[in-house]
Chain A
């Protein structure tokens, strides 16, 4: 299963904004508004932070926002904080009976 494409790493200083991209195809990201984002700390389970492209689950900071344009989705973190340093994964639904869920390769965010 071909993964969605994410940059391997991004970095930013406290207070800045960063954006992580997630590129798919017109069979997944480009066709469905079912893109989600997960935050994972080392040794911990992933946590859902964005669903359906733009929505935040209850309790997730408003500093996290999602968007989509064409075949690419993006996660933006504003007002970067040290605690945001983690791995971030995007995921999308695709029209496939055997692989309806696909993840990106993950992006390591470093807060400088």
Chain B
């Protein structure tokens, strides 16, 4: 069955970088785009952008340009979110979710909590 498995929680110091993985199981990886969604503690969902698993082209929402990078390793059906120069307000749970733009996000990873603290 379809599921997305994300890497475990991370504790990082300000200024460091982090790379979150999202491995897909149970479907053809290139058939659906992958989206990234941020949820700060006690806050709502915020769409960060998406990456085409067909051509690897990322699109970033405003506010997620520059320090945020979406990438793929299609050989292992895995998407990555890398965040550079971490700040305290990057502390959040990051979700990957399957869905073409315009379609609903039908399957979600379990979330990766990133904590940025000195």
Listed in ascending order, the chain A residues whose CB lies under 8 Å from chain B are 1, 3, 32, 34, 36, 38, 44-48, 51-52, 57, 89, 91, 93, 97-106
Q: B35 and A101: CB pair below 8 A?
A: yes
Task: Chain B residues near A3: list those with CB within 8 A.
Answer: 44
In B82-118, the 8 Å CB interface with A consists of 95, 97, 101-111
Task: Chain A residues near B109: list those with CB within 8 A.
Answer: 45
Contacts A45-B111, A91-B104 given; does A99 touch B44 at CB 8 Å? no
B76 part of interface (Cβ distance < 8 Å): no
Task: Chain A residues near B77: list those with CB within 8 A.
Answer: none
Residue of A nearest to B110 (CB): A45
Q: How large is the interface on B (under 10, 10 to 19, 20 to 34, 35 or more residues)?
A: 20 to 34
Question: Can you name 20 extra interface pairs (CB under 8 A) apart from A45-B95, A91-B47, A99-B47?
Answer: A1-B46, A1-B47, A1-B62, A36-B104, A45-B108, A46-B97, A47-B108, A48-B105, A48-B107, A51-B106, A57-B106, A91-B45, A93-B101, A98-B59, A99-B62, A100-B101, A101-B101, A102-B47, A103-B44, A103-B47
The CB with the most chain B CB atoms within 10 A, among A45, A46, A47, A97, is that of A45
Contacts A34-B102, A93-B101 given; does A98 touch B47 at CB 8 Å? no
- Of the candidates A1, A44, A45, A93, which one forms a contact with B102 in the assembled complex, judged by CB atoms under 8 Å apart? A93
